[in-house]
Amino acid sequence: MPFYLEEIDVIPELAQFKSVLIVPCRFCPAASSALSRNEPYIEFLSSFLKTDSYEQLIKNLKLNLVNRGIKTGVMKSNLLHQFVLCSWTSKKRNKLAKRARQYEALLVLGCEAAVQTIQDAVQSTSCQVIQGMKTLGLMSIKPKFHLPCNVSLELDSVTPVQKGKDTLATNEKAKTIASACFPEQAGDCLEQRVT
């Protein structure tokens, strides 16, 4: 079950830096982007293993920062085993730490585990790590295959996640998201499993 993530408006916070490296996870954020925009998760023939709506989000963030005069780069992950940021290999983390030395800030597009992974990887640098997304819950999804070779996702439920005493997502927030994505399933879309 991947995390359902929501974008955070970080442009005002990033405006103070002269250089930003965008570090995207390509699993949970991509699935969340496809669901929230009601677009395909993967279109194998046109974009292979990338999610167009998520790639557009990354491009828009980069363009917005560049237009403000901020040097901006994007950390690439071309190999399948590098798509899930929180499970990057030591080699990939070291590569990031080396590249991070060229930037003042790193914008992490991923869950809290992804942010922690990046913080751990770049602790020897002076980079500030900025969280670009927040977790609203765990989503239960059903993949749907369409011709010619497309995969879309159907949201079954969003289960709120708790961290200690603080709830990261509330049942009402998850219902609002589910209703916006799938109005025809709004009543049945969410299961609350918070203890």
| CATH number of the domain where residue 132 is located | 3.40.50
> Is residue 67 one of the residues assigned to a domain?
yes
pLDDT digits (tens, 9 = 90+) for 104-117: 999 999 999 999 99
Average per-residue pLDDT for the chain: 80
pLDDT at 20: 98
Yes or no: say if 8 and 132 are a contact pair by the CB < 8 Å rule: yes
Helix (H, G, I), strand (E, B) or coil at 119: helix
In angstroms, rounded to a whole number, what is the distance separating the alpha carbons of residues 43 and 35?
14
What phi and psi values does residue 24 have, to the nearest 5 degrees? Answer: -95, 135
> Is residue 187 one of the residues assigned to a domain?
no
> Is residue 23 one of the residues assigned to a domain?
yes
pLDDT at 149: 73
pLDDT digits (tens, 9 = 90+) for 56-100: 999 999 999 999 999 999 998 765 556 678 888 899 999 999 999
> Is residue 186 one of the residues assigned to a domain?
no
pLDDT at 50: 74
**How many domains, the chain?**
1
Range of the domain at 26: 3-137
Instruction: Calculate what percentage of the chain has a pLDDT beyond 90.
Output: 42
Residue 154, C-beta contacts closer than 8 angstroms, at least 6 positions apart: 141, 142, 143, 144, 182
> Is residue 38 one of the residues assigned to a domain?
yes
What phi and psi values does residue 108 have, to the nearest 5 degrees? Answer: -95, 120
pLDDT at 104: 97
Q: Decide if pLDDT at 34 tops 70.
A: yes
Cα separations (Å) of 19 from 22, 64, 95, 121?
10, 13, 18, 18
> Is residue 110 one of the residues assigned to a domain?
yes
> Is residue 95 one of the residues assigned to a domain?
yes
In angstroms, rounded to a whole number, what is the distance separating the alpha carbons of residues 96 and 98?
5
pLDDT at 170: 46
